[in-house]
Chain A
Amino acid sequence: MNAKAIIELNNEKREQLNEENLKYYEDMLVYIRLNTNKSEQQTEEVLLELLEHILQAQEEGRTAEEIFGKDPKTYCKEIIGEIPVENRKRQILFISSIILQFLAIISLTHGIIGFGLHYFFDLGSANTTFSIGSGIAILIIDVLIAFLFIIIIFKWLKNTVFKDDKKQKKWVEFLQVWAFSTFSIGLFVLVIYLMPNFGTTVSIPTIYFAGLGVFLYLVSFLIERKKRSIQLR
């Protein structure tokens, strides 16, 4: 059974948990899953085991807290510490597919919006003109910003799980994430504006970017499938 099938099974089974156990278990699930450098297969296998354990105990009228204690965070850290690190090849494939998906979305949006603005509203030109050197530099920096964004959000999420006063501070959390996201998008655009032109200038029809986007997405999909086919324990 591969990780994807286990995740689906987990989603189904989780519905059988009562409210109290669900809250307890989902915090554990989020906290453990946020460790992306750990073996996905082992992570999902142990998550399903924990779920099964709670479900069986629930039938006997016992709660998740009685099984795993009052300090689930420490318990989860113990679990995470014992999960083996993800296979290097799978890690590389995973990161490549994320980068490609990210580039695919940017390319597709640029292609469709640019083309639409020109074709329907007569705004801008039908071609996109850019310097190859600056284009590549922008892509590299923006990919790095995106990764930093993900890493910080994951860290932030890990800190917010297992907090009791969650409900009261919901709006504060929302504001934090909102401000941080706005800042990141600003940084993202700033790089594009501040980058000086260097390298050969090329001009290609904007709609081609849409095609490129679809192509990149297909490649990322294939990489994802390749990653899934590597079953290593």
Chain B
Amino acid sequence: MTLRSQLLKGILEGCILSIISRQPTYGYELSIRLQEFGLSDVSEGSIYPILLRLQKEKLVQGEMKKSESGPKRKYYSLTTEGHEALKQFVHHWENIKRPVDKIIEKGEI
């Protein structure tokens, strides 16, 4: 895997953890949220392999539940490890965000 796609995947994983941490979310809803936040370059389908991986790593858990509108859906929620991983992601992100922004701004001048 290239560094570029690894970086993007890591960031996307963090975003998914963050959205799920607010309330139990199902696949379609999650992809819509990501798009609403402006991540429109992320192809909709790409969330499912990531969700499977997050389940394997026990960061999220899925549960088949009846939704308000009727059909049974698989709702994801964070596990304790998931909350921990999210905290770490936010921490790493905060550390990298500003320096990177600064470097890019300097470069443009």
Contact = CB atoms under 8 A, between A and B. Distances in A.
Interface of A: 1, 6, 9, 13, 42, 45-46, 48-50, 52-53, 56-57, 66-69, 75, 78-79, 81-84, 233
Interface string B42-83: 011100110011011000001010000001111000000000
20 contacts: A1-B64, A6-B64, A13-B71, A42-B52, A48-B74, A49-B27, A49-B48, A49-B74, A52-B27, A52-B73, A53-B44, A53-B45, A57-B28, A66-B44, A78-B49, A79-B49, A82-B53, A82-B56, A83-B52, A233-B55
A42 B56 CA distance: 10
A78 B51 CA distance: 12
A46 B44 contact: no
Contacts of B53: 82
Contact of A68 (B26, B28, B45, B52): B45
Q: Which 9 A-B pairs have the closest CB atoms?
A: A82-B52, A68-B45, A1-B64, A67-B44, A49-B27, A78-B49, A82-B49, A56-B28, A82-B53
Interface of B: 26-28, 31, 43-45, 48-49, 52-53, 55-56, 62, 64, 71-74
A70 to B, nearest CB: 11
Given A1-B64, A53-B44, A56-B28, A9 B74 contact: no
A9 B72 contact: yes
Contacts of B73: 52
| Interface of A (DSSP majority class) | helix
A69 B43 CA distance: 8
Given A45-B62, A45-B74, A75-B45, A53 B52 contact: no
| Interface of B (DSSP majority class) | helix
Contacts of A48: 74
B72 A1 contact: yes
Contacts of B44: 53, 57, 66-68
Nearest to A42: B52
A79 B48 contact: yes
Given A53-B31, A66-B44, 11 more contacts: A42-B55, A46-B48, A46-B52, A49-B27, A50-B45, A56-B28, A69-B43, A75-B45, A82-B52, A82-B53, A84-B56
Contacts of B28: 52-53, 56-57
A20 B72 CA distance: 24
A13 B73 CA distance: 12
A161 to B, nearest CB: 17
Contacts of A52: 26-28, 71, 73
Contacts of A81: 49
A162 to B, nearest CB: 15
